[in-house]
A and B are shown apart, each in its own frame.
Chain A
């Protein structure tokens, strides 16, 4: 009984520590993600900028707009008197990529934060799930000499180009583990393409990684099940989250979500 109590106590303490952690980050790599959300319409590609924020020990990967939106919401939370001037959607950038990925050099697993509407999820994933084959092919991308590596992950075959001119074993999304930064990575159908477009030194304290509300610590399988359930019951799940769509728009909303049939991870 006492052992169980201690275990629960330690768990609560460790969760609390993670929630309060601040990261001092000193490099920002900006990737342009070009993607195709409907696998049947090849001419309709969308794009979004993504940040890889790093120091020598950790990295955080997140969409640029997600990062900006978090900053605005945090500002409202910290200073409620500012709420009136902040209540303007044009100041809330939109993203279709809610995942935030924390990679620590000292850990064998990455931490993934994701969300479905207003529910936040956190799960761990083994870094070993991505196994690379490094080839001898080389080319220059954006002025950097790169070498090719390949992998299969999440139901897609990827071709990555990394450069040891930037000796950081990291990359966009969940990809890491090569002897240099990934400069470009694309799946074989070019449905998801990440390309490095900018890099800069920064002096950033990152404190908003872990959502404070509606956070569920789960597994990747459960999160994917929840996501599938959401797709199958869009209107009902949106209503449960706190938004009731007028009847005459429900079919249109269902149709919109049916066209989003091509997630980055297919399995």
Chain B
């Protein structure tokens, strides 16, 4: 179980820094509007999904919060 737990956030982090960020740019004012990353994540109880966020820390914090809630 500990190994599973160890692999969980490590995976989240590596995927977070390597996955594509989506930046939508307005043609009118050339201002970056949205930059959100979706990271495939396996929770410690085997449930799969995508953790999302604008920063790596946000993605990790989301994953931790959901893992704590769904896999107590």
Interface residues of A (CB under 8 A from B): 46, 69, 73, 76-77, 80, 83-84, 87-90, 92, 94-96, 117-118, 238, 241-246, 249, 252-253, 256
Contacts and interface: CB of A to CB of B under 8 A. Distances in A.
A16 B41 CA distance: 36
A89 B62 contact: no
A244 B50 contact: yes
Interface in B30-51: 38, 41, 44, 47-51
B47 A253 contact: yes
Interface residues of B, number: 34
Interface of chain B, helix or strand or loop or mixed? Answer: helix
A242 B52 contact: yes
B67 A244 contact: no
Nearest to B13: A87
B10 A88 contact: yes
Given A89-B9, A90-B2, A118 B65 contact: yes
B6 A90 contact: yes
A243 B68 contact: no
Contacts of A117: 65-66, 69
Contacts, number: 82
A243 B57 contact: no
Contacts of A246: 47-49
A95 B59 CA distance: 19
A89 B67 contact: yes
Nearest to B47: A249
A231 B36 CA distance: 27
Nearest to B66: A243
Contacts of A244: 38, 49-50, 52
27 contacts: A46-B72, A76-B57, A77-B57, A83-B13, A87-B13, A87-B60, A89-B5, A89-B64, A90-B5, A90-B6, A92-B68, A94-B68, A96-B68, A96-B72, A117-B69, A238-B66, A241-B62, A243-B41, A243-B49, A243-B51, A244-B50, A246-B47, A249-B47, A249-B49, A252-B47, A253-B47, A256-B70
A92 B64 contact: yes
A249 B9 CA distance: 19
A87 B10 contact: yes
Nearest to B1: A90
A46 B44 CA distance: 18
